[in-house]
Chain A
Amino acid sequence: MTASGLTYPGVDSARLMVGMEIHVELATRSKMWTSAPNVAHPDHFDARANSLLDPVVIGMPGVLPVMNQRAVEMAIEVGLALNCRIARRCKWDRKSYYYPDLPKNYQISQYDQPICGEGEIQIPASTEAGAPMKTVRIIRAHLEEDAGKLLHEAPGGFPIDFSIVDLNRAGTPLLEIVTEPDLETPEQCVIFGQMLRSICRHLGVSEGIMQKGHMRFEPNINVVIEKDGKTYKTPIVEIKNLNSFRAVEGAVRHEYSRQIEEWLETGRVMGQRAKTTRGWDDIRQVTTLQRHKEDADEYRYFPDPDLVPLEVDQAWLDRLRSRMPEMPAALLQRYVGDYKLNIKDARALVEEPGLTRFFESVVAERVEPKRAAAMLLNYGQKRANERGCGVHELGITPAQIRQIVELADNDRIGSSAADELFGLLCEPDMENQSVESLATERKLIQVSDDSAMASWIEQAIAEQPQAADDVRKGKMAAIGRLVGAVMKASGGQANPKLAQQKLREALTA
């Protein structure tokens, strides 16, 4: 499937239109309306069910919400990253519906005055190299509180004939971002989702762990069909609660063909029926009908009288803007353009915000960026993989990396010694270790001292008379064996380049 004008049997063309709704759980320390800990914060990921509660979370009689300022800041930061207009004044509304995971039976949300208004973001139109960029328009992003969870089996998977309410997630700050239907392929949906995830992680507003539901996607999908010179739009279908990019891809792809098939069968077009909701069956890889919305939802929105309107003044906005880190797209451009990194390395560095920051601090030590990237992605990445942590969490410091680079650049250590030093500096309690003294201690400094070198060369020539003869006769290929002998004689301390030079002088002069 390509971006437009693709063909489908039985129609002239069928263009996919997808608008995305994305829920992002913000990783504040405390919840949206109270000081109880937030399950989306790394400190509380594995909290026991119903352990992150207080009277406000449970919606006890008499409690009142107090706005989490940091959550508002995070929402604004995402808005700035998406080039949204930030509201100078907005309010909080109650959205009413009854469900056991919503203790107050209303959700505090923003109805007609979202904190972030219209915006847009550029994404690559496909994953192909050199793909053109395209604009995805943002309609709005508003802040609200998440609901709890209902469990229909007991922990451990035991069947129960009742439901368990876990309110740990209730009250987690939730940012709902809504786009225009600008996405035209399943691939674009995924690219957009990954871009948004990367932005949120670089901003530090979400850990972006999909399995934990930190980001949940709800594509609104329909197809514009051309047949016999006429245009038909299929009814919009909303797919609920997708929490993997694979599911987004699969659901959009399936829905595209399903809607065309349905249209061919029924001729039903948009407007004849209100929006339908479908779910994604991960095992069968199909979308399944959840409900038709026969009537408009009745949420009885009204301004929450327990809260005062939110005012965002210029000073606050300026402060947030000045704190904004560089966004992933700009980082990639700079790494490829200015640092001349290859796109693969650049992506690897940008993929993990912690690694990006670490890389930047290594570069700030005046390590040449390509060298820094190579150190981190070669020496660093393999050790990080072994330990299951990030490169930036290995323990080695940017200054130590600079010292390794300096030793290597001055030919005082070889590449295997550099690798070994990198490893040693990742051991515990090495952050104050001087690299030079460690290298000396471990006898990793190459010896270029003339008298020592002279005796190792003498020894090597004595041990390898045949090779020495070959070199004397101009067969330079044999010098490698002699260099090996020098290295062996020196216990690995000899500078191999210097050894080769001295051998040549000794045998061919």
Chain B
Amino acid sequence: MNLTELDLCGLKEAIDAGRCSALEATTAYLERIEALNPAINAYHEVYAQRALDQARLADEGHRPGPLSGLPISIKDNLCTEYGRTTCSSRMLAEFEAPYTATVVKRLEAAGAVILGKTNMDEFAMGSSSEHCAWGPVRNPWDTERGPGGSAGGAAAAAAAWLCAGGLGSDTGGSIRQPAAYCGVVGLKPTYGRVSRYGLVAFASSLDQIGPVTRSVRDSALLMNVISGHDPLDSTSSSHPVDDFLAGLEEPPARLRIGLARQYLGEGNHAAVKAAVDQAVKILSGAGAQIIEVDLPHTEYGIPTYYIVATSEASSNLARYDGVHYGHRTRNAKDLVDLYAASRAEGFGDEVKRRIMLGTYALSSGYFDAYYVRALKVRRLIRRDFDQAFENCDVLLCPTTTDPAFVAGKNADDPLSMYLNDVYTVNANLAGIPGISIPGGLAEVDGVALPVGVQLLGPMFEEARLLRIARLLEREIGLGLCPPVVSRV
């Protein structure tokens, strides 16, 4: 049996039944990472010895819990007391955090084995995982293409069976879009559902950590572990946490599925359209009512997002100045030069571009026209969703307009890259949860590529999203296996 073939829940069953040990599973993943990571570049750092030790302790019964002995990857923007936390940036190339993120503590307290840290777009800014100081991440379905981003490493690792499951972060689609491009399940929880303490901030009011997994049930399993209030994060919610695995196999009764005109226009790839149509068919076949809803402010999502996100980023990233930690230039003439040169050397172009955009938007004279107005539009977008959810339980829509694009395609055209987020950013602006699951395959230039379908739900309705996603997953039943997987 190839142990890396199993999803998290499958491996958990195998370990619990004594069919394999955590050490065997971890060893299998480490071997596979060694063989495949050079081609995929999903991981920046692998904690092999530590992972083996954790697995051994789990086998000895010292690390009980819902994730006991399960090998999991974490995105390289989650701080850990061991290894480095680089955010795929030269700025933090050697940065060793003195503390561990709350979510990672929760994973480890649940018995998880942390395999390593996955690559990403620098500081989570990008939709391709090309803006990574440690080289571009490759899509396991076609290594000429990117895995999407920013959690491209997490999605590629899950798809290529380089981890049993992983954690990413989603600011404007950074979990869901790469999940769609790589044919895996990506959940962005409600804002405040999961603690951000220890997540290196990109845009604080939008960032949310979530699972990137091979199955819906794995997503539920990880959500059970990472959700809940954290006294170290003032924006984390005290809303009660559901048991996301309970009732997962039972689809909610009298479902009302909302379809928004604004998400189903001409711009979508035929395979994307087909995937949504298929999902609609499955759901109505299961007795769901299909309702058309209107989200009139959808088109303002991208500009609003790029003002809010860059404004917050310009402030969040001000701390990387070469004084207290991180990259420091070698030959500074004076203090201002130290700041300027350290930042010029440490940050990549996309990060600089966004810091400049955000600094501009917050400057006096522009603040009201950009930032304040963006907050107003953000409220309208949130209201759109509130009104839609009065008439339906969830919204069904594509995750992206197209399947994964060829690496470097948008290198000189940041606007095209920003448009990648068109179906995902609004959930972040509104704070609502969204999940992307594999919806089918597209054939592009003779290559089979996955496309995603997305479900968006009201605040704190992750359990509902997961149950409907599970229904779709069962019916679509692709059991997707990218070519690179079959090579090893």
Q: Do A and B come from one complex?
A: yes
Check B198 against A66 for contact (C-beta < 8 Å).
no
C-alpha spacing A302/B85, complex, angstroms: 28
B318 at the interface (CB under 8 A from A): yes
CB of B367, distance to nearest CB on chain A (Å) = 7
What chain B residues lie within 8 Å of A66 (beta carbons)? 231-234
C-alpha spacing A302/B205, complex, angstroms: 12
CB of A193, distance to nearest CB on chain B (Å) = 32
- Among B125-133, B358-366, B422-430, the stretch that binds chain A is B358-366
CB of B206, distance to nearest CB on chain A (Å) = 8
Within 8 A of B (CB), among A53-67: 55, 58-67
Closest residue of chain B to A299 (Cβ to Cβ) is: B364
Check A64 against B233 for contact (C-beta < 8 Å).
yes
CB of A310, distance to nearest CB on chain B (Å) = 10
Check B324 against A105 for contact (C-beta < 8 Å).
no
Check A62 against B318 for contact (C-beta < 8 Å).
no
A98 at the interface (CB under 8 A from B): yes
What chain A residues lie within 8 Å of B335 (beta carbons)? 100
CB of A287, distance to nearest CB on chain B (Å) = 26
B181 at the interface (CB under 8 A from A): no
Report if A62-B197 is in contact (Cβ < 8 Å); known contacts: A96-B315, A100-B335, A300-B359.
yes
C-alpha spacing A67/B78, complex, angstroms: 23
B371 at the interface (CB under 8 A from A): yes
Interface centre among B78, B87, B95, B201 (most CB of A within 10 A): B201
Check B319 against A61 for contact (C-beta < 8 Å).
yes
Check B196 against A64 for contact (C-beta < 8 Å).
yes
Report if A61-B92 is in contact (Cβ < 8 Å); known contacts: A300-B362, A302-B362, A302-B367.
yes
B98 at the interface (CB under 8 A from A): yes
CB of B430, distance to nearest CB on chain A (Å) = 15
Within 8 A of B (CB), among A301-345: 302, 304-308
What chain B residues lie within 8 Å of A55 (beta carbons)? 97-99
Closest residue of chain B to A56 (Cβ to Cβ) is: B232
C-alpha spacing A300/B360, complex, angstroms: 9
Report if A98-B325 is in contact (Cβ < 8 Å); known contacts: A62-B101, A62-B200, A296-B364.
no
Within 8 A of A (CB), among B307-331: 311-312, 314-315, 318-321, 323-325
CB within 8 A of B234: which of A67, A103, A300, A302?
A67
Interface centre among A67, A94, A306 (most CB of B within 10 A): A306
Check B204 against A305 for contact (C-beta < 8 Å).
yes
What chain A residues lie within 8 Å of B359 (beta carbons)? 300
B306 at the interface (CB under 8 A from A): no
Closest residue of chain B to A34 (Cβ to Cβ) is: B232
Contact bitstring B191-225, A, C-beta under 8 A = 1, else 0: 00000111111011100000000000000000000
A298 at the interface (CB under 8 A from B): yes
What chain B residues lie within 8 Å of A105 (beta carbons)? 318-319, 321
C-alpha spacing A63/B204, complex, angstroms: 11
Contact bitstring B260-276, A, C-beta under 8 A = 1, else 0: 00000000000000000
A165 at the interface (CB under 8 A from B): yes
A104 at the interface (CB under 8 A from B): yes
C-alpha spacing A58/B319, complex, angstroms: 9
What chain A residues lie within 8 Å of B324 (beta carbons)? 58-59, 103, 165
Contact bitstring A134-171, B, C-beta under 8 A = 1, else 0: 00000000000000000000000000000001000000
Closest residue of chain A to B338 (Cβ to Cβ) is: A100
C-alpha spacing A63/B78, complex, angstroms: 11
C-alpha spacing A298/B87, complex, angstroms: 29
CB within 8 A of A60: which of B97, B199, B233?
B97
Interface centre among A61, A104, A106, A296 (most CB of B within 10 A): A61
Check A104 against B200 for contact (C-beta < 8 Å).
no
Which residues of B pack against A, CB within 8 Å? 77-79, 85, 87, 92, 95, 97-99, 101, 196-201, 203-205, 231-235, 311-312, 314-315, 318-321, 323-325, 335, 339, 359, 362-364, 367, 371
| Residue contacts A-B, CB under 8 angstroms, 12 given | A55-B98, A62-B79, A62-B101, A62-B200, A64-B196, A98-B321, A100-B323, A296-B364, A300-B314, A300-B363, A300-B364, A305-B205
Closest 8 CB pairs of A and B: A105-B318, A305-B205, A305-B204, A300-B362, A61-B200, A62-B79, A62-B198, A62-B200
Given contacts A61-B87, A61-B200, 11 further A-B contacts (CB under 8 A): A60-B99, A60-B325, A61-B320, A64-B234, A96-B318, A98-B318, A106-B315, A302-B371, A305-B235, A306-B235, A308-B235
